[in-house]
Amino acid sequence: MSRRISLREFQENLAHRLAEAQTGERRGLLGVQAGNENWLLNLAETGEILAPPPLAHVPLTREWYRGLANVRGTLFGVIDFSSFHGGVPIVAAGHARLLLVGAKHGVHSSLLVTRVLGLRSEEDFEADHGPPDARPWVSKRMRDMQDHPWLKLDIPQLLAQGAFLDAGAD
């Protein structure tokens, strides 16, 4: 049965959405944590977010390649995004989530992240003027109002990297 809302709630929600549309305020970034790093992903480039399903181990792969996930009959390669950057491996339980980032780009790959931190707006951050990040998939370094560092992920750039696509062990 669908949830019933009062006319007042409906009108308040509608007024809030109209005000956001008129001011142009959009929360177009998805904040995630992968290990000890906070990342921002363009919401338009991000696919589905789901709890990690059971993973099928794939032998002779790098440690950051966690295996295959069957998502409604489609197999997705699962990359531990923290371990990929040399961080601590993520436990695929609890708050951990799977981001199907490659589906919109024709690549069946996904990122395992520690947790999803919610929607953010570009206006919530300011530029970090420190040295540039050496990873080509980091498009910007930013800081939030609490001075925490954030990295903006360029998903197409990540998916184009040979190091990301080559999960076979040496």
Give the tokens for residue 62.
């790098």
Q: Comparing C-alpha atoms, which of 12, 48, 16 is closest to residue 30?
A: 48
pLDDT for the residue numbered 165? 86
Residue 168's contacts (CB-CB under 8 Å, 6 or more residues apart) are 60, 61, 62
pLDDT tens figures, 24-50: 556 799 999 999 999 999 998 988 999
Any alpha helices (H) in 24-161, and if so which ranges?
Answer: 81-84, 155-160
pLDDT tens figures, 58-113: 999 999 999 999 999 999 999 999 999 999 999 999 999 999 998 888 899 999 99
160 by DSSP, 3-state: which?
Answer: helix
| pTM score of the predicted model | 0.82
Q: What domains lie within the chain, and their CATH numbers?
A: 27-165 (2.40.50.180)
